[in-house]
Amino acid sequence: MNTLTEVVLPGKVEPEGLELRERPLPAPGPGQVVVAMEATGVSFAEQQMRRGKYYDQPPFPFVPGYDLVGTVLTTGDGVDSGLAGRRIAALTKVGSWASHVVLDAADVVPVPDGLGAEEAETAVVNGITAWQMLHRKARVRAGQTILVHGANGGVGSLLVQLAAQAGVRVIGTASERHHEALRRLGVTPIDYRTEDISARVRELAPEGVDAVFDHVGGASVPASWKLLARGGTLVSYGSAATRDDEGSKQLPVLKILVRVMVWNSLPNGRNAYFFNVWAGRSFAKNRFRARLREDLTQVFAALKDGTITAQVAARLPLSRVAEALRLAESGTVAGKVVLTP
């Protein structure tokens, strides 16, 4: 095969404005591998990027795609040739919506034998985000109680399962149609459309919760902070509420960061973070890679042994990327929308 197919985001467009492009398949450079994509996903980041709202997205045009799972086809100089033929996963931020991707070999993480590509794909950016927020930021312990906003989503659905694995009680917000599935996972659901979230959480946890995981942003962030027990932790990791707002793409995040700084300066024993999965990469790349490999390996192990279950909301080929993006943005699905070659 001498060409690759990729999806190009040319500017601020509706999903139907995404473009398919073919170009020559490049050879790997020193330290690189060429990967044949088997599965990539639609995350909230791409939903923001097509609106020009992701806070550090590259200039248009570019190829979206936050992560992928695929098979190494060829290796460049300085790379173990035994890596060819292996199934790997990688976190890319952009570039994964393509049939083939060139990656630095140091950035790929082996996928365990017996784990399917689509199954593994659901747990790359979503799994690493859930794991690191739960264990590296909030540092949850058995017997604690947490609140997860969007408990049916790509990150939320894995986070609640990992929390249950750790012996943590979970309260989760979701629309009513997802409540039965959440109850089967041991989650106490709250309908964010019809219920007063704060009042209901106070009924379930009168002293407050030990951690809140908030992807909503906006007014939800201070509301989440107020629900913390003494010693609790708020982890904000998105701004879904401002997805369609006009104006600066940095401002919603900056507002959260300012709140975090102020709250952490208060002598109340509580902590707040804005989680960025890429934190530390620019100044400690080797440490970042080692931590990513360690944590994603843990997530894959939990997925393989059935401790957590992959939720593939839909599988669509790259040629139907507009349909996939609209489906992911609809808010009607549980789990992750996966793209295949």
CB of 118 within 8 A of CB of 39?
yes
> Which residues are bridge partners to 129 per DSSP?
none
Query: What order do you get walking across the sheet with 187-191 strand by strand?
Result: 187-191, 169-174, 145-148, 209-214, 228-236, 271-274
The CATH code that applies to domain 124-274 is 3.40.50.720
pLDDT confidence of residue 153:
86
pLDDT average, residue stretch 231-241: 91
Q: What is the CATH number of domain 3-111+311-339?
A: 3.90.180.10
- What is the pLDDT, as a whole number, of residue 268? 84
**Whether pLDDT at 247 is above 80:** no
pLDDT tens figures, 264-311:
999 988 999 999 999 999 889 999 999 999 999 999 999 999 999 988
Provide the residue ranges of all domains of the chain, joining segments of one domain with +: 3-111+311-339, 124-274
Instruction: Provide the pLDDT confidence category of residue 331 given band limits of 50, 70 and 90.
Output: confident
% of the chain residues with pLDDT over 90: 87
**CB–CB of 167/143 below 8 Å?**
yes
Distance CA 312, CA 307 (A): 16
The Cα-based distances of 62 to 94, 245, 308 in angstroms read 8, 22, 34
d(CA 208, CA 202): 6
- The stretch 178-205 carries a mean pLDDT of 97
Query: What is the per-residue pLDDT for 1?
Result: 64
For 15-60, where are the alpha helices, taking DSSP H only? Answer: 44-49
Distances (CA, A) of 108 to 124, 249, 251, 293: 11, 30, 33, 8
Q: Which of 164-173, 208-217, 220-229, 233-242 has the lowest mean pLDDT?
A: 233-242
CA distance 216 to 53: 14
> Does residue 334 have a pLDDT over 80?
no
Q: Is the pLDDT of residue 148 over 90?
A: yes
Is there a common fold for 3-111+311-339 and 124-274?
no
pLDDT tens for 27-53 read 999 999 999 999 999 998 999 999 998
CA distance 340 to 7: 12
